Amino acid sequence: MTTDNLIDPSAPRDKPETAQMKVIHKALRRELSLLPVLLSKVAAGDTGRAGVLAGHALLVLDMLHEHHESEDTLLWPLLRQRVPLEEQLVQTMEAQHEVVADLVEAIRSHLTDWSRAADARLRDRVTDFLLRLEAALEDHLDLEERAVLPLIHEHLTVPEWLAPQHAAMANGPAGLKAKLLLAGVVLEDATEREQAWFLRSMPPPARLMWRLLGRRMYADHTARIRTTT
């Protein structure tokens, strides 16, 4: 058995600790609630500010994409096989992912143009799509936490549970800065237990880089992103 599941002495030894997923959900909820507000305040023509926020938005959208892609590939097929009576629930998960993916693509298609010109109409269009994404994702995450995570806990093994998380990390951004910023996104509101799990899942060199550079880098990044001036 992998040691990733043994960080917390109270964690089950033979079943996935599905509460780990909630720290990722928490981070996505926070960022997608902040982004529409921040974008809506960008003045027309302020390409500097638009570029900064567009870059952060793309980072968050990439995180969401990798998270969902790993579930599509590695979780839903297993649940369909192990719990055939929950086929309708799995289909609902897949359908919700499609809705989220379409909204993410719509946002991506406008972000670059908006960041270059800071056009007010494009800003409002991107903001509207972000609000719709926030609402769709909230419905999806609520259902996943309420109905799907208990099924995963009962019917999947620990390695099967960890595989999508490892895949999402492996398929994430290649650059060191982006990796450290995404670590900060996850760790910002994490409890001590959640921090322990996430840091333990990182390779030792990455944990060291987080301590040496990442914390300060993320603090500077969030100060720049969330400024109200």
Q: What are the pLDDT digits (tens) for 80-117?
A: 999 999 999 999 999 999 999 999 999 999 999 999 99
CB 153 within 8 A of CB 16: yes
Q: Does residue 7 register a pLDDT over 70?
A: no
Q: Specify the higher pLDDT residue, 172 or 88.
A: 88
Distance of CA 6 to the CA centre of its chain: 23
Non-local (6+) Cβ contacts of 207 within 8 A are: 199
Residue 183 lies in a domain: no
Rounded-to-integer distance, Cα 32 and Cα 57, Å:
9
Prediction pTM value: 0.90
Asked whether residue 129 is domain-assigned, the answer is: yes
Q: What does the alpha-carbon distance between residue 201 and residue 207 come to, in Å, rounded to a whole number?
A: 9
Q: Is residue 101 part of a domain?
A: yes
Buried-state track 143-180, b at ≥16 Cβ within 10 A, e below 16: ebeeebbebbeebbebebbbbbbebbbeebbeeeebbb
**Which residue has better confidence, 202 or 133?**
133
Radius of gyration of the chain, Cα coordinates, nearest whole angstrom: 18
99 lies in some domain: yes
Cα distance between residue 164 and residue 158, in whole Å: 11
187 located within any domain: no
CA distances from 138 to 28, 30, 119, 183, 212 (A): 9, 11, 28, 22, 34
The contacts of residue 60 (CB under 8 Å, 6+ apart) are 28, 31, 32, 35, 185
pLDDT of residue 16: 86
Residue 8 lies in a domain: no
Number of domains in the chain: 1
Q: Is residue 119 part of a domain?
A: yes
Q: Which domain range does residue 101 map to? A: 18-173
Whether residue 164 lies inside any domain: the answer is yes
